[in-house]
Amino acid sequence: MVEKNPNDDFIELVETHQEKSKQIIAICNQKGGVAKTSTCLNLGAALAAQNKRVLLIDFDVQSNLSLLFGCKNERSFYEVHESDIKPTEIIKKVSENLWLLPANSKLSLLARHYLRQKNNGYFLREHIEPLKQYFDYILIDTPPSVKFFTPNALLAADFVIVPTQCEFLSMNGVLQTESIIQALAKSHPLDYRVLVTLYDQRNMASKVIFSKLKNKYQNTLFNTAIEFDPKVQESQIINQPVTHYDANATASKQYTQLAKELLSI
């Protein structure tokens, strides 16, 4: 839940000792509904609970991540671009160790403006650079769109998480995301891991595709998988990460496990 005390939005400068190869993490899959936004929120909260200072960037016109924190029509990177304000001025503290840089629908105008220009992939990278000193982790939530948003997030990132459901079309989204990562690799090589989300072990198709994913992505699949858990949806109704809503929920334990796995690789 957003705390309204303005002092809470102040970001004190701390020396971060974060290993730089995984400080900025883009969460991408060209398919919608694979839990990109839910992973950004809940992994971010789980890292914050591990005493890491975490910034979540909502880089999606739909602003779902912002809405999950109860933030509507807050200033976004559009206003940063239009009014020449600093990103630090629009960042909100949303809970202990966790900050949000919100989105709003005007991000589509930002994309339209940059898509008319050459070299439009570096907008986000340039604006994130000065923020790196304040946070251990910066997680970027992206839309399925391949234009502007995903390339900007990938070019700003040093690591990618590709969430996927165990179903055919989501796997295809993983392939599309991989091909974008590969297309950028000459100038910007990126390490990535595939994350199984919304896993339902009672569903036969899910089980078959999970074993296919394990075969195909032997070294690039997270050991932790996130199961389908209604507690994730319940927690979103009251604008909380699932880890805050019910620490004993299956998804809470799995996102905590994922945070630990991320810290260990």
Site residues (CB under 6 A) for ligand ADP? 32-38, 64, 197-198, 226, 228-229, 232-233, 236, 251
DSSP class per residue in 58-84: E--TT-HHHHHTT--S---HHHHHHH-
Residue 38 binds: one of Mg ion, ligand ADP, none (C-beta under 5 to 8 A by kind): ligand ADP
Q: In whole angstroms, how close is the CB of 262 to ligand ADP at the nearest point?
A: 17
d(CA 57, CA 244): 20
d(CA 72, CA 66): 7
d(CA 164, CA 153): 18
Write the DSSP symbol of residue 227.
B
Nearest residue (CB) to ligand ADP, 77 versus 228: 228
Tell whether the torsion through CA atoms of 207, 209, 211 and 214 is positive or negative.
negative
Residue 107 binds: one of Mg ion, ligand ADP, none (C-beta under 5 to 8 A by kind): none
Q: In whole angstroms, how close is the CB of 239 to ligand ADP at the nearest point?
A: 12
Which window, 35-43, 72-80, 172-180, 197-205, contacts Mg ion (CB under 5 A)?
35-43
Which window, 60-68, 80-88, 119-127, 232-240, contacts Mg ion (CB under 5 A)?
60-68
Q: Does 37 bind Mg ion (CB under 5 A)?
A: yes
Which window, 6-14, 56-64, 73-81, 225-233, contacts Mg ion (CB under 5 A)?
56-64
Burial (0-12, 13-18, 19+ Cβ within 10 Å), 264:
exposed
The site for Mg ion, by CB under 5 A, has a size of 3
Pair 231, 252: CB distance under 8 Å: yes
d(CA 105, CA 28): 19
Residue 132 in tokens: 């790196």
Pair 48, 94: CB distance under 8 Å: no
Nearest residue (CB) to Mg ion, 136 versus 196: 196
Q: In whole angstroms, how close is the CB of 56 to ligand ADP at the nearest point?
A: 13
Quickly count: other Cβ atoms within 10 Å of residue 70's Cβ.
12
> What mask, x for binding Mg ion by CB under 5 A, covers residues 167 to 206?
----------------------------------------
Residue 152 binds: one of ligand ADP, Mg ion, none (C-beta under 5 to 8 A by kind): none
d(CA 162, CA 179): 12
Q: Does 64 bind Mg ion (CB under 5 A)?
A: yes
Nearest residue (CB) to ligand ADP, 62 versus 120: 62
**Which residue shows structure tokens 């502007």?**
148
Nearest residue (CB) to ligand ADP, 9 versus 143: 143
Residue 26 in tokens: 């883009």
Residue 120 binds: one of Mg ion, ligand ADP, none (C-beta under 5 to 8 A by kind): none
Q: Does 38 bind Mg ion (CB under 5 A)?
A: no
Interface residues with Mg ion (CB under 5 A) are 36-37, 64
